[in-house]
Structure 1
Amino acid sequence: MPNIESAIKRVRTNENANALNSSQLSAMRTAVKKFEQAVEAGADNVADLHQAAVKAIDMAETKGLVHKNKANRDKSRLSKKIAK
């Protein structure tokens, strides 16, 4: 445990940032999984779920949670699945 006041504050802010980052990354993964399950089931709302998944990926990329190339790769894979 740090003794210096600024280091104590950094620990606090890092915990808050980690919680926000983790929740946003989890939301991205959940959106992608919902889309993939809908494609397999042949649901009617596949286009809406695709749009939500792409938005979640873009937001995670903007925040620096995933690399640009990974985001593009994931979006490309989702687009391939919707094209089938």
Structure 2
Amino acid sequence: MLYSIIIGGIAGWLAGKLMKGGGFGLVKNIILGIIGGFVGGWLFNILGIYTFHGELGDLLEGVIGAVAILFVADLIKKNK
């Protein structure tokens, strides 16, 4: 569990750096990264995409999931 939080936090930070405008700030990006890590793993599993095993694969899934979550959250934020 702690491993997932750490990888998700790093993924959220990286996703915030990748997103135009920097996302939502460090703390929210990390929280969304943790959620995105679970979403990324779930999406990759559903699509039958298998990444590297270990930390690198987990980080890749987390960053992709976090970018997706940040993208959707940004769309919601802009429509309010």
Aligning the two structures, in what range does the TM-score lie when normalised by the shorter sequence?
Answer: 0.3 to 0.5
Structure of higher RCO (CA pairs closer than 8 Å, 6+ residues apart): 2
- Whichever of the two has the greater Rg, that structure is 1
TM-score, with normalisation over the residues of structure 2? 0.34
TM-score, with normalisation over the residues of structure 1? 0.33
